[in-house]
Amino acid sequence: MTAQPAAWRSADPSIVSLPTLPPAGLELGTARRHAEAIHALLPQTQCTRCGFQGCRPYAEAIAAGEAEINRCPPGGLDTLVRLAALTGRPVQPLDPACGSEGPELVAHIDEERCIGCARCLPPCPVDAIVGTQRRMHTVLVELCTGCELCIAPCPVDCITLLPRSEAKPTAAAPSPAENLRRYDAHLVRRGHREQARLLRLAERKARADGRMPLPDLRGDAP
């Protein structure tokens, strides 16, 4: 019988709301359950500050023993303590290489300077920016997680971060469950867009190769 590694015994029995972990083993199903339990504790901003491409890859790396539990600044000490309780690993300071815990921030677009290039739209994991090509864009503060992913792509540096309390004091921060639901919807939309793009490419290539006739538009003439 495989012994249960100490890392999977709760270090703090007072934290009773954490999921009960199944006996640890090396099989894939168990690793997935561990990753799910860890994933459920993460804030779901998908900010990548942990060094992974989102909360789920980070959870999987912790479950696999490939990452420390102190790499999530948005979750801060609260999440760190919960992860320590879940995994039995010691609480340790946040890794400064990932950033530091701070006040809740939200993105703000200087609409005077925005050129409407729309480059900030695709990177937003929760689709919190609205606007179209050549029109100024704006941030829906209620949805914004402050992940910062929209800032680097902006060619005119007109996106800054403000404390949530300053931007819109009445807007509460979205919950991790809401963030995850919007991120999943974002991924579905992104998948549809990519499929449509590949289809257009395939059609164009088929026309260029003469494998698809050009559409006869004569009947459409007014």
CB of 216 to ligand SF4, least distance (A): 39
- Pick the closer one to ligand SF4 by CB: 88 or 123: 123
Between 21 and 114, name the residue whose CB sits nearer to ligand SF4.
Answer: 114
Nearer residue to ligand SF4 within complex by CB, 4 or 138: 138
Q: How far is the CB of 161 from ligand SF4 (least distance, A)?
A: 7
Q: How far is CA 147 from CA 14, 86, 111, in A?
A: 31, 25, 20
Taking the complex as a whole, the smallest distance from the CB of residue 90 to ligand SF4 amounts, in Å, to 19
Closest separation in Å from C-beta 148 to ligand SF4: 5
Between 23 and 163, CB nearer to ligand SF4? 163
The residue among 63 and 124 lying less far from ligand SF4, judged by its C-beta, is 124
Interaction site with ligand SF4 (CB under 6 A): 42-43, 45-50, 52, 54-55, 58, 72, 74-75, 107, 109, 114-120, 123-124, 126, 128-129, 131, 137, 139, 144-150, 153-154, 156, 158-159
Smallest distance from ligand SF4 to CB 151, Å:
7
